[in-house]
Amino acid sequence: MSPGVRAEGGTGVGVMIGEPTGLSLKRWLDNNRAIDAGLAWSFSDGDSLHLHADYLIHDFTVLKPKDFHARTAFYYGIGGRIKFREHGDTRAGVRIPLGIDLYPANTSIDFFGEFAPIVDLAPSTRADADLAIGVRYFFK
Contact 111, 100 (CB under 8 A): no
Q: Both ends of the chain: CA-CA distance in Å?
A: 15
CATH number reported for the structural domain that contains residue 100 in this entry: 2.40.160.20
List Cβ neighbours of 130 (8 Å cut-off, separation of 6 or more): 18, 19, 20, 52, 81, 95, 97, 114, 115, 116, 118
Q: Which domain holds residue 120?
A: 4-139
What is the count of structural domains for the chain? 1
pLDDT of residue 88: 76
Total residue length of the chain? 140
Question: What tens digit of pLDDT does each residue of 81-117 get?
Answer: 999 987 778 999 999 999 999 988 888 899 999 999 9
Question: What tens digit of pLDDT does each residue of 18-72 get?
Answer: 999 999 999 999 989 999 999 999 988 778 999 999 999 999 888 776 666 778 8
Helices (H), the chain: 4-7
Q: Which of 8-12, 31-35, 75-79 has the lowest mean pLDDT?
A: 8-12
Closest CA to 12 of 99, 108, 105: 108
% of the chain beyond a pLDDT of 90: 69
